[in-house]
Amino acid sequence: MKGLGGDRCYAGNMKTRTIPRNLLPAAALLVGLLGAGSPAFCAEAGAGAQPTAGTKPMAARPVLAKGMAAELIIQLIGKPIEVIPLTVEGGKAEKWIYRRVVDKRTTQTAATTHDIPSLVGYSINGPVIGTAVELDYHLLHVTIYQVTSLLVFDGHLVLAKQWMEKSQSIDS
């Protein structure tokens, strides 16, 4: 099984939570709101997990697992930056959003040009004045975020999804 960005991975020791049949349409709706995808964190990297032959052990890091209590999630990775309440029958559902800066850089870029008077050569009659193109440089600020979305139903983790977002701004 692979971790982030790979195939789905669920450890065999995870606690599962059964959703009653009458709540299955609501659960399917919630899954659709978050989007189906790989879990954000692989449970096999948790405490007690042993590396398979030919692999290196993973560094200790917080691991989320399906069915984990909301209080434990907050202890492991902190409070979310945004909590979106979702309307469902039969329980309380929330979408928790976490955003972490992965990369932040600033580069100088030529955004525009303008013409300036310039000496372009000499002729029999003397110097020749023409125009030359001058570049206007601006700073481009780029920030890349790792966004994690957790679906919490009745105080327990049901689904997790992760993706990258890019933010850009230009100083003039």
- Assess whether pLDDT exceeds 60 at residue 36: no
CB 62 within 8 A of CB 45: no
Residue whose entry in the numeric block shows the structure tokens 């929330």: 94
171 Cβ partners below 8 Å, 6+ apart? 138, 139, 141
34 has a pLDDT exceeding 70 = no
pLDDT, one tens digit per residue, over 61-105 is 668 899 999 999 999 999 999 999 998 888 899 999 999 999 999
pLDDT band at 4 (very low <50, low <70, confident <90, very high): very low
Question: pLDDT at position 12, please?
Answer: 39
Give the whole-angstrom CA distance, residue 40 versus residue 162: 5
Kindly state the average pLDDT of the residues 101-126: 90
SS3 content of the chain, % helix, strand, coil (to 5): 15, 45, 40
The pTM is what?
0.54
CB 72 within 8 A of CB 155: no
